[in-house]
A and B are shown apart, each in its own frame.
Chain A
Amino acid sequence: MKKILIYIVLISSFGFLSSCEDSISDLNKNPNISLTANPQQVLTAAMAYTNYIVDAQYNRRSFMWAQYLTWGPGVAVGEIERNILNGADYDNVWSRSYANALADLEFVRNSEATAHSGIAQILKAYLFQALVDHFGDVPFNESLAGELTGNFAPAYDDDEAIYEALIPMIDDGLDKLSAADNEVGAEDLIFSGDLNSWIKFGNSLKLRILMRQSLVNPDVAGAVQEIISNGNLIESSEDIVGIPAVDVAGNQNPMFAIMESGVGNFYIASSTTFDHLTSLNDPRIDAFYLPAENTGAHKAILQGSIDDEPFTNSVADYSQMGPVPYAAGAEVILMSDWEVWFLRAEAAERFGTADDAATAYANAITANFDYLGVEGAADYISSRDFANQANKVDEIGEQKWISMNGLQESEGWIESRRFNHINESILVDSKISVLPSGVFPSIWFYSADELAKNPNSPNQRTEVTDKVFWDN
């Protein structure tokens, strides 16, 4: 009898004991996440996001507007080929950029590890430039501070002002890299801790940012000349800023992975690029495009004209993306040596720098041939006869646009906007474009999700022809 009473008391007291206040608060520590992290691991994540953003989002959404590829058979033609945009399509790139890559980089930047912090600054500048180049005005000064300041509605900053702020951001990164007192290792997926390569990337990125403004802001000339004189830029294939890929789930080339999932890769060669390469007798054509699987011969079609092709045709009847860019193990290039040489050629031509424009131009083309594994760069360069080109800047732009095919499609589309020559004499109207003839899309719509949640957002764009500040 008494024993039973004791049991009652025991049961009761067990309840009381196990419910003391300290222990229940401890229960609310989330065991599924870590409350701390090292900058090393967070930097790796940021680079993986950057890899996805640049290739699966920017490059994949630009190759049709750069007219390297056009919509093929298998799936109803997408709105993007009509130059109609839907904000929801840009939710992914927006949130992966801000809420993932940039948020992670911001954490790394704030860490004690100076070298990692410096790398983070350079990558942040890279990603913010990409945001501006695609969207125009975006949140910058008040962004990424949700947890710190409780500001849940960041204001949008003027695109030109953001560009101005990126140079000091890179300089801060470069200072940190020079003064770094800690080691960076294999967590750096890009350079495995080679800080000098990062310094070259930082310098080259500054050159890109400045040259992008060259048409609207001639005052950048001095700064450009200084960068060229100081040197230490991306010059050779070892300096290419690239994130490698291997054929293991989750580590594949992001564009390849996304296009192989679902209905598969149904994009085919656009005759805009294909015919242009043919007219130039450009030997890179076989690197950029595979012959049609069914015929063994190349077949491209007019931009946006798949509905005019026989209904029963399949992708195997057309040329598709070439083997170098389209492979599970293809690296994603953030910045290439040929891009930098093209920038230097243009800078020499526009502003008169320490470089020789023709040499830089030849270096650029050679670097691109080499990367693609195509022979005959020298013959091709001489066939272009740079010295006698009427408009050397246009020639540089045109060759730059060609060299971005399959490798840096987004940069190809961005530069096609800046070098109006490409729009005016090479690109054609998509057959199903809703825009007037000769008018090309020049901006992305804002993320619908961001607009719905941020009361400080501007209204959604209505014109796909709005321009970023540097786009004259």
Chain B
Amino acid sequence: MKKIRLRLCMLFAILLTTSQLIAQIAVTGTVTDSDFGDPLPGVNVVVTGTTQGTVTDIDGKFNINVPNEESELTFTYVGMQSQTKTVGEQRIMDITLSTGELLQEVVVTGFIPDRNERQVTYASQTVEVEKLLSQPNKNALEALRGKIAGVKINTGSGSVGASTRIVVRGESSLTGNNNALIVVDGVPIDNSTSQGGQGGASSGYADYGNRFNDINPNDIESITRLSGPAATALYGSRGSSGVVVITTKSGKGVDDKKTMSYGINSRYSREQAYVLLQRQDQFGQGFEGTSFDSGENWSWGPAVDGVSRPWTSPVDSDGDGDLEFLSRPYSAVENQIQNFFQTGQTFENSLFLSGATDGFTYYGSYSNLSQEGVLENTTYNRNTFNFKGSAQLSKKLSTNFGFNYAGTILNTAQEGYRPFEGQNAYANAIQAPITIPYNEVRDYTSPFHDLAGWYGSYSSNPYFILNEYLNEGKFNNFLANLGLKYNLTDDLNITANVGFNQVNRTIETATPIHTPPEQLVWVNNLGLTTRNTRNGSLGEYSKQLGKNTNYNVTTMANYRKELDSGLNFGVSVGYDLFDRRSESVTGEAVEGLVVPGWFNLRNSQQAPRSDQFVDKYRLYGVLGNVSIGWKNQIFLEYSARNDWSSTLPKDDNSFFYNGVGLSIVVSDMLGLQDNNFLNYLKLRGGIGTTGKDAQTYQIEGGFIGSPTIQTLNQGLSLTTPILGQSAFTVSNFIGNPNLRPELTNLFEVGADVGLFRDRITLQYTYYVSNHNDQIITVGLPASTGFTSTTSNIGEMTNKGHEIQLNLKPIQGLVNDLKWDIDLMYTKNTNEVINISEDQDEIVIGGPYTNGSISLVAKEGLPFGTYKSRTPKIDEATGKMIVSANGFPELTEEDEYFGAYQPDFTASAASNLSYKGIGINVLFDFRQGGQFLSITKDQTEFNGTALTTIAGDRQPFIIDGLKDDGEGNLIPNDVEVTAEQLYAVSGVSYGGSSLLIDASFVKLRELGLSYNVPSKLLKKTPISRASINLYGSNLKFWLPEENTYADPEINGSDLAGNAVGVETTQTPPSKSYGVRIGLTF
């Protein structure tokens, strides 16, 4: 699309040049690219305020005649920042264009023809490749952090290939999916997350990531965020949670000239776990402050004394009949948790080929990314092939097409906070007493650290878990798209686009057969006792094969007409079809495995069990858009859409919604284009509605059959056949045949401002969205015979401000010196207005831990508010009320405590460059919100948290008041110990004591780059060369109370809404690397 536009501009310019009759001054010059100093062919050079112009040739040279010395020349090139210069006395003008803000750039809008920035009536933000890939990142969503306003990005884990969740402008749905829709080259892709393992936040699950991860970041040209009416008018109800539009690179070249370039990009980086957990270093293994116990996971034992003591279970390691063991000083191990991790590394190599010839453009790439995680035996390997082309088939017909394949294999580790079932390496790691040296237990086959010798009576050797358990995911991701455009007349065209995305997955999960023998444990005075409490397994294995297919067809007719009076208007009408199919088949071994080490369904003790799942969905819509513009200064736009969805009741499956937008370029109306202070001011606003359909299969219930008719508790389930008989049970779900579409009302206003000749540009938007009649799964009392139904209830609002500020403080002061500062600020206020007549709250996650803390949507509070019991406070004195046993007395009812929602987020990026040398820095900032830290719960339980050494573990009296038995409050005088309070963490001080301030400042990126000047490369086949040293996540500044975990890594259920729940996930990594890019 851009290419065609470029060609039109050029033709236009050439025509104008040839029609030029009179010219007083001849100016020549060369236009080069600031990054590489390369000549830029095809740059438009226009005498400002006239229609006179030319384009640069293949060597970037131009010559043009201007009327006088006061004339200004404007240089524009797609993808680069325009420049205007006064001719003055110069006759040779050498101009350097740089990439940058795209204030006049076309805006990607999806199905409707792209339009320029002035015409756009809503806020949208595009991140171009240069900023997105200022330095390499795990995936493109991670790379978006701090670079785009109005989004909230969360990661599921610091392990390889983990999922990333992106929410645009706050959660809009109480129980539905709040992840933004991801569109790649016009195709809404399957971005589902995949999990394996037992599947729970507590018992263990592996995060295999979302499919966005399969995109090679090097193939991305730009990422645009759309939200509000703009997004839904284009993408239908699927876009109601916001849309992230990704445009991949296409072939570049100058029309009518053959060009071709190819190149390689390689990088290598090393990753170190960024351990945020801090532990006490004064009290070692054992309990009650006096009792040593070498099998304990507790650090409630005696104070460390540095005296050598045995720390492994006595075993006969050499078969001589005597018992051996290892001893070490009873003292805290330095860098204990840091040493649990290994240094990870990432290699990435990619090749690309790009070019154009005779109206045909092409871009092809291959990339391989190979990563070793910071956890042992975790790996991620991704190969991508990408081809994209466009062709001008005739004067009237053009086509573009793309094909993309990504193959990913990852071996990851299970997450989850319950360590004692033995699935979760990091959860086991943080159970170690402070006296256990991780750098010595790596060899889990050593007689001192294997199943027999392992010190822990309750925990497992995490290296055994990492190396012997299997959590493997394989994904094959195919994406293809084909578009045709036919120009019926100069004003009217028809476009048709077909997109197809299929993801095949194989997920294997296995637990090895292991039976730990009875253990000998050292107790006080080096006595020995036996214990038989370690976790074993009969062996488990499951394999899932799945396939998700998305299919999308859009056909549009577009009419554009410019009238002489300065009016122009456009009409687009068309339809859109989206179809999604998912299916999977799972098999699992039953009652253990027979042959050790053979993970196969054929190795099941009893007949293996299988299950399948199918999901089908289709939506089609008819859409239209009318826009009227006047003198490129005022634009009024109306769009409307009607959708038909398969998920709504047959007679009521159609819904209509529409929106209107207005933009006024005030600066142009007032003739301020040349004003030195305010050179650009655009005001924009829009209002609209959006409908949203239901999840699939909400209309009717039925009967559940083979294999699992009901999960029970403690991991048991009722499966059929039962005693050889097949069984069906009445589904617990009551379908609702009266569902209506959800209704969202949206409103936004904003302004785009350019000051000091665009040295300062500002975009500001205020928005309000109201989400009503939400389709919610409603829990029913079991006495109805059912446990859930679905209903149109609930209302929620989001209100927010988004500010983006770009500064170029020294632009034009020093030749070739550029300083570019981007500041961003986002504030979103979310409120649940209403649930239903019968209910004022629904639980969206939990309850978690012994503290029974839940996440709720409650009327009047933000979505995802935490609720739990909490210590009772005497209002008169502000002191805690204490019960007879000296413990805090908890409120009878749950109370409510904030949410994960931040007060605001902000970022600051700086890019400084001089003659090819660049320095980039990115800081990311989040203020407010809380997260639930189960790391705190676990480390308080085991006596390693810093909170557990308050008062040196001497018995103490909680400063509170107690009932004297006659209803009077008197000062508390009952002694308690920290162990009594914390070893049942989350209970003594209520679940609310596990909430941690989620604020942070992060030094997200710091990099140094060098682009080799083309002069130096003249004698080589290389046309461009660059080298880049970079560091990511180098430093976090966290609130003092956060000695536990990264506030951005949480949520064990990424497709769901239970974010803000940190469940001892693998921590993030610091990364240091080097990248080399060569273009030939």
**Beta-carbon contact of A33 and B702 below 8 Å:** yes
Contacts of A34 in B (CB 8 A): 702-705, 728
Of residues 771 to 804 in B, which have CB atoms within 8 Å of A's CB atoms?
779-787, 789
Of residues 116 to 167 in B, which have CB atoms within 8 Å of A's CB atoms?
none
Q: Is B325 on the interface with A (CB-CB < 8 A)?
A: no
Q: Is A454 on the interface with B (CB-CB < 8 A)?
A: yes
Contacts of B613 in A (CB 8 A): 32
Nearest CB in chain B: distance from A46 CB, A: 8
Given contacts A25-B650, A250-B718, A450 and B781 within 8 Å (CB-CB): yes
Q: Please measure, in the bound complex, the distance between the C-alpha atom of A154 and the C-alpha atom of B494, giving whole angstroms.
A: 59
Contacts of B950 in A (CB 8 A): none
Q: Please measure, in the bound complex, the distance between the C-alpha atom of A98 and the C-alpha atom of B781, giving whole angstroms.
A: 9
Q: Please measure, in the bound complex, the distance between the C-alpha atom of A187 and the C-alpha atom of B724, giving whole angstroms.
A: 9
Binary interface encoding of chain B residues 544-582 relative to chain A, with 1 for a CB under 8 A from any of its CBs, else 0: 000000000101000000000000000000010101000
Q: Is A258 on the interface with B (CB-CB < 8 A)?
A: yes
Q: Please measure, in the bound complex, the distance between the C-alpha atom of A56 and the C-alpha atom of B715, giving whole angstroms.
A: 13
Contacts of A143 in B (CB 8 A): 783-785
- Which of these, B591, B781, B852, contacts A152 with CB under 8 Å? B781
Q: Is A251 on the interface with B (CB-CB < 8 A)?
A: yes
Interface size class of A (residues with CB under 8 A): 35 or more
A and B contact pairs by CB, cutoff 8 A, 24 listed = A8-B494, A12-B555, A19-B575, A27-B646, A33-B702, A34-B728, A41-B727, A42-B727, A48-B727, A49-B729, A56-B712, A96-B710, A143-B785, A144-B783, A146-B784, A151-B784, A152-B784, A152-B789, A186-B724, A186-B725, A248-B606, A262-B715, A314-B530, A454-B781
Contacts of B727 in A (CB 8 A): 41-42, 44-45, 48
Q: Is B732 on the interface with A (CB-CB < 8 A)?
A: yes
Nearest CB in chain A: distance from B740 CB, A: 15
Q: Is B755 on the interface with A (CB-CB < 8 A)?
A: no
- The segment out of B345-353, B614-622, B623-631, B857-865 that lies at the interface is B614-622
Given contacts A143-B784, A144-B784, A153-B781, A1 and B397 within 8 Å (CB-CB): yes
Q: Please measure, in the bound complex, the distance between the C-alpha atom of A16 and the C-alpha atom of B731, giving whole angstroms.
A: 35
**Beta-carbon contact of A24 and B618 below 8 Å:** yes
Interface centre among A7, A28, A447 (most CB of B within 10 A): A28
CB-based nearest A residue for B488 = A5
Q: A7-B484, A29-B700, A41-B726 are in contact. List 11 more A-B contacts (CB 8 A).
A: A18-B579, A30-B702, A31-B614, A45-B709, A48-B727, A98-B784, A104-B729, A147-B734, A189-B722, A254-B716, A261-B716
Q: Is B393 on the interface with A (CB-CB < 8 A)?
A: yes
- Which of these, A30, A42, A248, contacts B729 with CB under 8 Å? A42
Q: Please measure, in the bound complex, the distance between the C-alpha atom of A41 and the C-alpha atom of B717, giving whole angstroms.
A: 17
CB-based nearest B residue for A107 = B730
**Beta-carbon contact of B701 and A147 below 8 Å:** yes
- Which of these, B617, B647, B703, B713, contacts A42 with CB under 8 Å? B703
**Beta-carbon contact of A35 and B785 below 8 Å:** no
- Which of these, B523, B713, B782, contacts A258 with CB under 8 Å? B713
Contacts of B393 in A (CB 8 A): 4
Nearest CB in chain A: distance from B741 CB, A: 14
Nearest CB in chain B: distance from A225 CB, A: 35
Q: Is B394 on the interface with A (CB-CB < 8 A)?
A: yes
Q: Is A312 on the interface with B (CB-CB < 8 A)?
A: yes
Contacts of A24 in B (CB 8 A): 618, 620, 644-646, 653
**Beta-carbon contact of A153 and B716 below 8 Å:** no
List 7 tightest A-B contacts by C-beta distance, closest first.
A146-B784, A454-B781, A95-B782, A33-B702, A103-B785, A144-B785, A139-B783
Q: Is A420 on the interface with B (CB-CB < 8 A)?
A: no
Contacts of B615 in A (CB 8 A): 32
Q: Please measure, in the bound complex, the distance between the C-alpha atom of A228 and the C-alpha atom of B816, giving whole angstroms.
A: 108
Q: Is B723 on the interface with A (CB-CB < 8 A)?
A: yes
Q: Is A181 on the interface with B (CB-CB < 8 A)?
A: no
Q: Is B18 on the interface with A (CB-CB < 8 A)?
A: no
Q: Is B48 on the interface with A (CB-CB < 8 A)?
A: no
Q: Is A74 on the interface with B (CB-CB < 8 A)?
A: yes
* Residues of chain A at the chain B interface (Cβ within 8 Å): 1, 4-5, 7-8, 11-12, 14-16, 18-19, 21, 23-25, 27-38, 41-42, 44-49, 52, 56, 74, 76, 88, 92, 94-100, 102-104, 106-107, 138-139, 143-147, 151-154, 186-187, 189, 244, 246, 248-251, 254, 257-258, 261-263, 312, 314, 316, 447, 449-450, 453-455, 457
Contacts of A14 in B (CB 8 A): 553
- Which of these, B618, B702, B782, contacts A94 with CB under 8 Å? B782
Given contacts A11-B498, A24-B620, A189 and B725 within 8 Å (CB-CB): yes
Q: Please measure, in the bound complex, the distance between the C-alpha atom of A102 and the C-alpha atom of B783, giving whole angstroms.
A: 9
Contacts of B980 in A (CB 8 A): none
- Which of these, A76, A138, A312, contacts B783 with CB under 8 Å? A138
Q: Is B262 on the interface with A (CB-CB < 8 A)?
A: no
**Beta-carbon contact of A100 and B701 below 8 Å:** no
Q: Is B533 on the interface with A (CB-CB < 8 A)?
A: yes
Q: Please measure, in the bound complex, the distance between the C-alpha atom of A138 and the C-alpha atom of B530, giving whole angstroms.
A: 48
**Beta-carbon contact of B728 and A21 below 8 Å:** no
Binary interface encoding of chain B residues 523-556 relative to chain A, with 1 for a CB under 8 A from any of its CBs, else 0: 1000001111100000000000000000001010
Nearest CB in chain B: distance from A207 CB, A: 28
Contacts of B653 in A (CB 8 A): 21, 24-25
- Which of these, B394, B614, B618, contacts A32 with CB under 8 Å? B614
**Beta-carbon contact of A154 and B781 below 8 Å:** yes
Q: Please measure, in the bound complex, the distance between the C-alpha atom of A18 and the C-alpha atom of B530, giving whole angstroms.
A: 70
Nearest CB in chain A: distance from B829 CB, A: 28
**Beta-carbon contact of A103 and B781 below 8 Å:** no
**Beta-carbon contact of A312 and B529 below 8 Å:** yes
Contacts of B673 in A (CB 8 A): none
Q: Please measure, in the bound complex, the distance between the C-alpha atom of A25 and the C-alpha atom of B591, giving whole angstroms.
A: 41
Given contacts A33-B702, A35-B700, A449 and B782 within 8 Å (CB-CB): yes
Given contacts A34-B705, A34-B728, A146-B786, A189 and B723 within 8 Å (CB-CB): yes
Given contacts A143-B784, A453-B779, A18 and B397 within 8 Å (CB-CB): no
- Which of these, B555, B644, B710, B723, contacts A8 with CB under 8 Å? B555
Q: Please measure, in the bound complex, the distance between the C-alpha atom of A249 and the C-alpha atom of B782, giving whole angstroms.
A: 27
Nearest CB in chain A: distance from B230 CB, A: 23
**Beta-carbon contact of B786 and A147 below 8 Å:** yes
Contacts of A94 in B (CB 8 A): 782-783
CB-based nearest A residue for B734 = A147
- Which of these, A11, A15, A33, A146, contacts B785 with CB under 8 Å? A146
Q: Please measure, in the bound complex, the distance between the C-alpha atom of A146 and the C-alpha atom of B778, giving whole angstroms.
A: 13
Interface centre among B620, B715, B717, B852 (most CB of A within 10 A): B620
Interface centre among A4, A24, A33, A186 (most CB of B within 10 A): A24
Of residues 574 to 616 in B, which have CB atoms within 8 Å of A's CB atoms?
575, 577, 579, 590-591, 606, 612-616
Contacts of A246 in B (CB 8 A): 723
Q: Is B696 on the interface with A (CB-CB < 8 A)?
A: yes
**Beta-carbon contact of A249 and B606 below 8 Å:** yes
Q: Please measure, in the bound complex, the distance between the C-alpha atom of A5 and the C-alpha atom of B657, giving whole angstroms.
A: 31
Contacts of A88 in B (CB 8 A): 852
